[in-house]
Amino acid sequence: GAVVSQHPSRVICKSGTSVKIECRSLDFQATTMFWYRQFPKQSLMLMATSNEGSKATYEQGVEKDKFLINHASLTLSTLTVTSAHPEDSSFYICSASSLADRRETQYFGPGTRLLVL
């Protein structure tokens, strides 16, 4: 149980375009979903926290107008990188915490590799 999927797994786009990444909890309802960014050989950095039906809470230094997060249901959150630039190239990982589990436990998706040319 507690499986989280992400789509796509890899995406290559041109500079200036927007890219949408989906995060789904497959077998549980997620009260909260989290979006992280991981640079090569570095740790995961939390970008934002989203709760179903409400606006996401962004971490300091993360541009909310650039990284749009929508959490429309208890099983789906999306991250849209708007007007992507090469410096946005990274590995984006989502996680979800379950209604049924302690909220502190997060289950992670497999990540999405974004390359902006």
Partner 1 sequence: AQSVSQHNHHVILSEAASLELGCNYSYGGTVNLFWYVQYPGQHLQLLLKYFSGDPLVKGIKGFEAEFIKSKFSFNLRKPSVQWSDTAEYFCAVITGGGNKLTFGTGTQLKVEL
Query: Residue 110 Cβ, how far from partner 1 at the closest point, in Å?
Result: 4
Q: How far is the CB of 104 from partner 1 (least distance, A)?
A: 5
Give the single-character DSSP code of 86: G
Is residue 44 part of the contact set for partner 1 (CB under 8 A)?
A: yes
Residues 63, 68, 72, 73: is their CA dihedral positive or negative?
Answer: negative
Q: With contact defined as beta carbons under 8 Å apart, do 90 and 19 qualify?
A: no
Task: Give the nearest distance from C-beta 97 to partner 1 in angstroms.
Answer: 7
Q: Which of residues 80-99 bind partner 1 (CB under 8 A)?
A: 93, 95, 97
DSSP tally for the chain: helices H, then strands E: 0, 11
Quick one: 13 or 46, whose CB is closer to partner 1? 46
